[in-house]
Structure 1
């Protein structure tokens, strides 16, 4: 059955390359022999390798928080999956197959805990000013999904992403490869909090891409897990809980928990949040399945993932018409997600008392 389409109004101020919903999309035939794992689209593969995807960051270097916006040149069919018990999200109703709005205009990842959701309104104002959104009578209503992470224990706890920061991140969005590490939503992120922030290391934001049967699949992930980060290929620890506040030896959180260690207090201060994008043609239900399969990338790169004090959230945005096998897409998404998580910590920079992977 053909996917439902929605009309979009665009003003002359819309960004270069943006398409109306009626503009034709390119089609590429996929190969049934393509491997699910695929290969990087470019040497610095990122979510912006997906045609029609733009990313913008805003970073508060003083307050140590920030936000990241993923925008689509045309409305995206979206889905989401959640793991853990500490999620904080916005706009999930737009992703429900039963909702009258068939798509979304972008996604926001932000620090600031629940306060960071304020940045959504800045993104909406940016889109409204360019005539981008769902046509509703005499106006347009942009639809933006969002997820936040907890970074109030790192910088100034009164510093949170604001409407102005959300607007600026949207204005900064470009199709260039996005910055990684301690920028945007990853600015105040940390990992390895078995013994709380005193023995943690720097998290961050990372991106990667791959292919599946002719479709491009990219991921952008802000990593703020209670667990450690592992190399998805070798299993080696990259960043995580340390043996002492001034230590440089990683203790392996999952092994410690299996041996009887307990998390230092039940605090929902950990969240890994991300966006998968693809130029494959998907329904809302299919985007959810890609997100679910993409979550296996968390299991490859986070140790352990999805704990009771994590709020893991993963969106999928479908922005193209390429035909590809759903399972192959999901496995490619998992590959991109796992590599994005690793790249997030490898690109991070240290803070006083909180070292980065590059410092080990």
Structure 2
């Protein structure tokens, strides 16, 4: 069964408990609807559904500019081979079968979680036509990176941009095992001279965004902006809640042709002691070294574990770099890679204390530590 059709069936079923409009504003009502749907799903026995593998554990049906309202997530697999096969099928449309663990409805979707998942062979992939009854189970699909990327300088021109701002909230918290971690929330907004603004959540430069497609598919990321002293007021184009950003940092390009001779460092401590380290080391000769590593050192249950390294570790040395407007352009074996890059307005272009790469702040090596 297509995941869109199952989503539509669940939506129709939960109307017997309470209308969706009531559930969107009331957590207990959502829980009651979800419990009712979960009981119905449990009674069906093993569940088989069809969709696109979007991560190492998740499936969601894509239909053009739309996607299924609900995500299917595999909490466990029948064996290691099935888990490996699922991860290798990323981007493919496949049939997944498993045993229901639970169902949760949220304000903007929900998740069907399965245990003991198995993946049907690719040759058994059904050729499905969208049926009228499936439409109710579809919602607008956010842009993926390839869709949001219009191409080098094919998005907003530098002349059309009034300013680019950075808003962040860093707070230290404790997880359920007694490990401290940093809840790191960073956002880049592009404020245009015509009074419109959009949230920029991609790794590439703001001048490369397909704004026409973004406006069509994700209207919730568009705003009307105004300045109120040092604060920025964002009024959502879709009529949502007004955002007031308190004295956000104003960013600017470092300058075309600039060179740096410094190393900048990113450190994030996540829940369960997971640590992520990244650094950019720039040299005056136009070469760049990039490193990425991570490990886990924290309390898990009654144990303290240390796990070094991982598949995400990476080191790239001697790559040529240059700056162009809001772009850091790196020459790689596969061609040029364009990354969003900016410095804080008022910082020294020859030796900034902070840099902003792909929407995240990096500090000058030594000062961050």
TM-score (norm 2): 0.22
Report the structure, 1 or 2, having the larger strand content.
Answer: 2
TM-score (norm 1): 0.22
Larger RCO: 1 or 2 (CA < 8 Å, sep 6+): 1
Larger Rg: 2
